[in-house]
Amino acid sequence: MLNFECQRCGECCKRYYIISLPHEVEAQARLKNLTVNEFIEKHMQLFLQLFPTEYQKEKIMVSSSLIPKKILEKIEGHLGKVPDFFIALPMLVFKRREDGACTFYNSENSGCTIYSARPAECRMFPFISDKKVENYAELYPFCHGLKQKSADRSYVDLSFIHFNEVSKYFSEVMGKGFSGMWEKWPKEGVCLYTDKLVGPITESEFFGAIGPYK
């Protein structure tokens, strides 16, 4: 990554639900000698992230009336109220092990078992913010690579690359629907409110929540 040198600490592999986009999943399935459907069934889960907001025409917007009651109750516990609308981000992500690590993380050598076909989110980390960041070391204090300082080292903000890829995906979801982007999807997954895990979500709850974008 230009002037960024990963220290192979593995911290980013242990902390996040990792997004993989349709064209990336195709490459990952080939690497594992699986069909796309087999790869998704074995290694991925549904992922729905919700952000409270005022109505915005250009976003994937869903009414709170579509969100399962069990999820709304937990959101109300965090927020103190239930918003009328949410920005909904429906995706597929890699499964995580009980310790929180990505299913493809090899703890013995802090390595990735699909490294050559890893998603853009992993290739670009820690430069994946959707807003201008003055100091990535403050945003990701656990990243050992950002702690490497020298007189000739300065980090180039390449976050727009990841942001543009993900934005394109959501634009296509708005036009084609989630099921128009994926031929296969898991039967269950997780729901997040902002960055907080709300809990599990079933296939029917997932599609019910995203309403017209299913």
Q: What single string gives the DSSP state of each residue in 109-176?
A: TTEETTGGG--HHHHHTT---SS--S-HHHH-TT-GGGG---TT------HHHHHHHHHHHHHHHHHH
pLDDT-based confidence at 45, cuts 50/70/90? very high
- Examine the pLDDT at 81 and tell me if it is beyond 90: no
> What is the tens place of the pLDDT at every residue in 57-78?
888 999 999 999 999 998 888 7
> What is the tens place of the pLDDT at every residue in 127-158?
887 777 778 888 889 998 888 766 666 667 77
Please report, for the chain, the start and end positions of each structural domain, with discontinuous segments joined by +: 12-213
Phi-psi domain of 37 (left: phi exceeds 0; alpha: psi -120 through 50; beta: other): alpha
d(CA 203, CA 144): 37
> What is the tens place of the pLDDT at every residue in 9-27?
899 999 999 999 999 999 9
The answer to whether 120 touches 158, Cβ cutoff 8 Å, is no
- Examine the pLDDT at 210 and tell me if it is beyond 60: yes
- Examine the pLDDT at 2 and tell me if it is beyond 60: no
- pLDDT mean across residues, the chain: 90
- Examine the pLDDT at 164 and tell me if it is beyond 70: yes
> What is the tens place of the pLDDT at every residue in 172-191?
999 999 999 999 999 999 99
Query: Percent of the chain having pLDDT more than 70?
Result: 95
